[in-house]
Amino acid sequence: MNLASRIESMGSSNSILISSDLYLQIKNHPKITTQKLGSFIFKNVDRMIDLYAVTNDNLSIPMVKEMNGKGKIVNTSSIFSKFWTKFTLLLITFLGVAFIYNISISTPAAVEKDLTTNLKALNFYLKGEFHHNKQTLSDIDTAITYYNKAIENDSKLAHAYNGLSKSYMRKFLSFESDTKWEKEAYSTAGIALSLNPKLAYPHIIRGQFYWSKSYNFAHEEAIKEFTNAIIKSPKLSTGYEQLSLVQLHIGLFNKALQNAYKSLKIEPGNLRARRFIGEIFLFSGKYESALKEFEKIPEDFDRSVTQSFKSLNYFYLDKTEKAIEILDENLSLNPNNANLNSVYAIILASQGLKKEANDKMKIATSSSVELIHAHHIYYHLGIASALMNQNKESVEWINKAAATGFPNYPLILSDPNLKNLHDNNSFEELLTNLKDKYEYFKTL
């Protein structure tokens, strides 16, 4: 979306600009005309972007010398291309300029030259892509409707099944925790692969399915799927991002960091990859480096999770007042949030305020019941318990975190807040088991 915004800024009234990515996808269709405007460089984009103006009737072409947006011309070209397509006219009519911008950067699985000869199915599919990328619940539901209509018109349109699987999984992960959406995502991803084995993104969906509560966080299977996605599409930012996610949870910090950086190199605006880098530094005890990463993330991005980590980071830096300020501000918006309350419990426990800490722990425990990924909350509750010398409860919480997706041996071994547990037999037994798993994880 960052690149789309930068491209849009270069346009003029009644113009449509597209990047070379979209141009290459449509150049062999018979009914579109374009004019290459030149090569441009954009902030935080590590490659030159060729821009084209669509020159169909009633569309204007920006004067290169008057293009004063967020990019800078490298060279210009007066080469004219004349390629026409009915579906492009449909896109212009029904979806508008913003959609054309979006398509050029939004489809993670490489769109093949000819998606389908059924223009009605193609139109529905592209509308589905537009709404999926807006990432609101209503848009996700609309995308699902459009993808299904595309499939009704062309039952072999693999990309429509791929889009459907993306929307089902996003609905499950972000909006509704009913596992039927997760299962639908897995099923439709399989259909997409059966129709087109070259697709990469269905492997992302399958990996997310394996790395979930429903599948007991099968780290190895998830890693295989994310790796398969990268093999098929080496420039798929999400593949590296998701691989980093699993690796940071199982303590493979170096590998996780490398993959998060690869994701950001491909997609500088990938905020999940950015946060994963912050988490890796946080879990590694590199608190200043972690804070620099968290500070780069907008406050409203995945707010409760990101801000809870940021607050915890300040706590580890002995800046407790700032940590509490962040928690209070965010709890005013969401008082019962499990992530925020679990971190608050840690701070209160460290101050000897046991009653207040236990109150926050109760809220976090109650609010985490329906969460898909609650392992960080369990781990935080384990820390809070340890700080209050509730060692038995602490070990139980940490065991629960490890069993539900967070068997992070390096962190659990080195966390300064767990130092009083190292004489506890149950904790030492847990460490032994986690070390064995960690040694295996290093072979993956």
Count of Cβ atoms closer than 10 Å to residue 17 Cβ: 26
pTM over 0.85: no
Query: pLDDT for 52-92, tens place per residue?
Result: 888 876 677 887 767 778 887 764 333 333 333 344 434 43
380 closest CA partner among 315, 443, 318, 426: 315
Q: What number is the average pLDDT over the span 45-50?
A: 74
Q: Could you give the residue ranges of the DSSP H alpha helices within 82-178?
A: 86-94, 97-106, 119-132, 137-153, 158-174
Residue appearing with tokens 């722990």: 361
Give the SS3 label for residue 438: helix
Task: Evaluate whether 222 touches 246 at the Cβ level (below 8 Å).
Answer: yes
Distance CA 194, CA 162 (A): 11
Q: What is the DSSP string of 336-371?
A: T-HHHHHHHHHHHHHTT-HHHHHHHHHHHHHHTTT-
How confident is the model over 337-374, as pLDDT tens digits?
A: 999 999 999 999 999 999 999 999 999 999 988 777 89
Which residue would you say has higher pLDDT here, 44 or 126? 126
Rounded to whole angstroms, the Cα distance separating 417 from 380 reads 10
Q: Which residues pair with 31 in a beta bridge?
A: 84
Rounded to an integer, what distance in angstroms lies between the CA atom of residue 283 and that of residue 87?
49
pLDDT (0 to 100) of residue 14: 78
Query: Domain 301-308+318-441 is in which class?
Result: mainly alpha
What letter would DSSP give residue 176? Answer: -
User: Which of 66-75, 134-143, 259-268 tops mean pLDDT?
Assistant: 259-268
130: tokens are: 């537009």
Instruction: Give the per-residue pLDDT at 436.
Output: 96
User: Which tens digits make up the pLDDT trace of 329-339?
Assistant: 999 999 999 99
* The predicted structure's pLDDT at residue 231: 97
- Total Cβ atoms within 10 A of residue 316: 18
Nearest-angstrom CA–CA distance, 297 and 272: 9
Domain ranges of the chain: 1-106, 301-308+318-441
